[in-house]
Amino acid sequence: MVTSHSRPTGKKVLLMGTCLCDAFYDEAAKATVEVLEHLGVKVVFPEDQTCCGQPAFNSGDWKASRKVARHCAKVFAGDLPVIVPSGSCAAMNFHGNLLQFEEEPDPLVTSLANRTWEVMDFIYHGLGVKTWPGSFPEPLKIVFHRSCHSRGTQSAESTLALLESIGNASVMSIGQAEQCCGFGGTFSVTFPHISGRMGSLKLDHLLEMQPDVLVSGDMSCLMHLTGLARMQGRPISHMHAIQLLRKTIP
């Protein structure tokens, strides 16, 4: 699928904040900025950004999603790396967009595809930070939900390697890690029963080892999972993986 060798890297990047961080999870976007700056990277946030277009794309309305993708590609035009704190939105940029434009390739869209990095992958492969120079004051038990849209990329492995290298961190393995949390965007709306059952099964596996914190590379999975968990009376502390890195920076 995507190899890091072909994508540009460097000390100046464009941040694609994602609509979910725009609406709910500003802390994840802030942590992305602060961690990158800590690593000496200058972060630019193009003001006109909105959404990657995935809701329309996944619904099959490619006319609508191509319109959004063109807007997105224009906002992030240029030659700088585009960093996304979401495996799903990143995959939309470098995979979904190529699919929906396969019959009418758009140079701006292709350029965005070739410059997009999920943030943990960027830190590990783009910046070459293979172990994280930091630690937690107290031991911390972490469960990591491998979000589905990072399949076939190096994001999950990068995230695990970085999290495991934090001092005092222990990342616990979970059963049936390959199973989806059941969010799937509009899927959770039109398949409410199946989506809820999938989420509950996932929670059973994630919470089995009584972790201190649940992390993922996608806030969408966490929104769904923790929303279910709260309703089921088993709330869990949760955050984006980048927020855990941020916690180690004084």
Partner 1 sequence: MIGIQPIDQYARLIDDEKQASVIDGSSKGTEKRYHVLHEDYADPDAIRRLAGAIKDHTLHHLGDYLAQAEQAMMARGIHVHFAATDEEARQVILSILRSHEVKQLTKSKSMAAEEIHLNPFLIDNGVECLESDLGEFIIQLDGDEPSHIVKPIIHKNRREIANTLLREGIAEDYNDDPETITRRARVHLREKYMQAGACITGANFICADTGRLTLVTNEGNSRFGMAPTPVHIALVGIEKIIPQEKDLAVFLNLLGRSATGQQLTVYTEFINGPRAASQPDGPEHMHVVLMDNGRTDVLASNCREILRCIRCGACQNVCPVYRQASGHAYRSTYGGPVGAVLSPLLFGDKFSELADLPKASSLCGACNEVCPVDIPIPDLLLRLRNKAKQESVHSPANIPMAPFAHLATSPSFWRTAMTMSKAMNHLPIQVAPIKPLQDWLGQRTLPDSRGGEFRRWFKARSSS
Which residues of the chain form contacts with partner 1 (CB under 8 A)? 17, 19, 21-26, 29-30, 33, 45, 47-51, 53, 55-65, 67-68, 71, 75, 96, 99-100, 148-149, 151-152, 176, 178-180, 182-184, 186-198, 201, 223-224, 226-228, 230-231
Q: Please, what is the minimum distance in Å from the beta carbon of residue 107 to partner 1?
A: 19
Least Å distance, CB 139 to partner 1, is 28
Quote the least distance from Cβ 5 to partner 1, whole Å.
18
Q: Please identify, using beta-carbon distances, which residue of 106 and 136 lies nearer to partner 1.
A: 106
Q: How many distinct helices (H) and strands (E) make up the chain?
A: 13, 8
Q: At what angle do helices 107-115 and 62-75 cross, to 10 degrees?
A: 70
Q: Which is nearer to partner 1, 150 or 166 (CB)?
A: 150
Tokens 């390739």 found at: 105
For Cα atoms 25, 31, 35, give the angle at the middle one, nearest 5 degrees. Answer: 160
**Closer residue to partner 1, CB minimum distance, 47 or 79:** 47
Q: Is 27 exposed, middle or buried (0-12, 13-18, 19+ CB in 10 A)?
A: middle
Nearest approach, Cβ of 18 to partner 1 (angstroms)? 10
User: To which H or E segment does residue 193 belong?
Assistant: helix 192-207
In whole angstroms, the minimum distance from the beta carbon of 86 to partner 1 comes to 14
Residue number with CB closer to partner 1 (28 or 169): 28
User: Distances in Å between the alpha carbon of 47 and those of 15, 33, 44, 117, 193?
Assistant: 10, 15, 9, 19, 38
Q: Which is nearer to partner 1, 39 or 185 (CB)?
A: 185
Q: CB of residue 168 vs partner 1: minimum separation in angstroms?
A: 28
Q: How far apart are the first and last CA of the chain?
A: 37
Q: Which residue, 169 or 228, has its beta carbon nearer to partner 1?
A: 228
CA pair distance 174, 176, nearest whole angstrom: 7
Q: What is the DSSP string of 67-106?
A: HHHHHHHHHT-SSS-EEES-HHHHHIIIIIHHHHTTTS--
Residue holding tokens 């500003």?
Answer: 26
